[in-house]
Amino acid sequence: MSLQLTQKEKSLLQDQKSHEEMCVQKYSNYANQAQDPQLKQMFQQLAQKEQEHLNTVNQILNGQVPNMQSQQSSSGQSSKQSKSMKQIENGTTFNSVGTTPRPVTAETSFVSSSSNNSDKDLCQDMLMTEKYVSSTYDTTVFECTDTKVRQALNHIQKEEQEHGEEIFNYMQQNGMYNPQ
């Protein structure tokens, strides 16, 4: 089935496309800049998820209704990441391969105070970016006429919020963010 997008839908989706491209680029660049191996891995995983979002937006712009079945099988990966973040919250981190959990101690923490500030800046920028991108999806969802497209965009928006939560949890766990 081919979608007939309104001019407003096309315009909003073009904006989302540029936002997703920027997220892919920033996460990839920041993964290379991050000092903490755990943060590098998280940014690499988030760059992959943002690429999936970009692919979905491009699919819609090309007039195709996204297949939510494949989207939801990849959301199983999201729950794996959420489980990983819960382990981090409980004082467990991962080695550079990301498979073997171990407790966080002063000896095993890879974040020095100088790299901590740099990593903190990267995290703060990505948290602000995720907040913004999630909010722009809100308008786009409401402006779409096709129910399946709305569902796909709502799914992406939910994942953007989960990305923000992962960053928030990482920052809080590493003493970079203390809600008052």
For residue 18, the Cα-to-chain-centroid distance in whole angstroms is 15
Question: pLDDT tens across 82-94, in order?
Answer: 444 343 333 333 3
Complete domains list, the chain, with CATH: 13-57+114-173 (1.20.1260.10)
Annotate 89-157 with DSSP letters as a single string. HTTEEE-TTS-SEEE--TTT----HHHHHHHHHHHHHHHHHHHHHHHHHHHHHHH---HHHHHHHHHHH
- Weakest-pLDDT range from 16-20, 96-100, 146-150: 96-100
**How high is the pLDDT of residue 118?**
93
| pTM, 2 dp | 0.74
Whether the CA torsion 164, 134, 59, 13 is positive or negative: it is negative
Report which of 75, 77, 76, 104 is spatially closest to residue 88, judged by C-alpha positions: 104
Amino acid at 81: Q
Report which of 136, 110, 119 is spatially closest to residue 171, judged by C-alpha positions: 119
Question: pLDDT tens across 123-176, in order?
Answer: 999 999 999 999 999 999 999 999 999 999 999 999 999 999 999 999 999 999
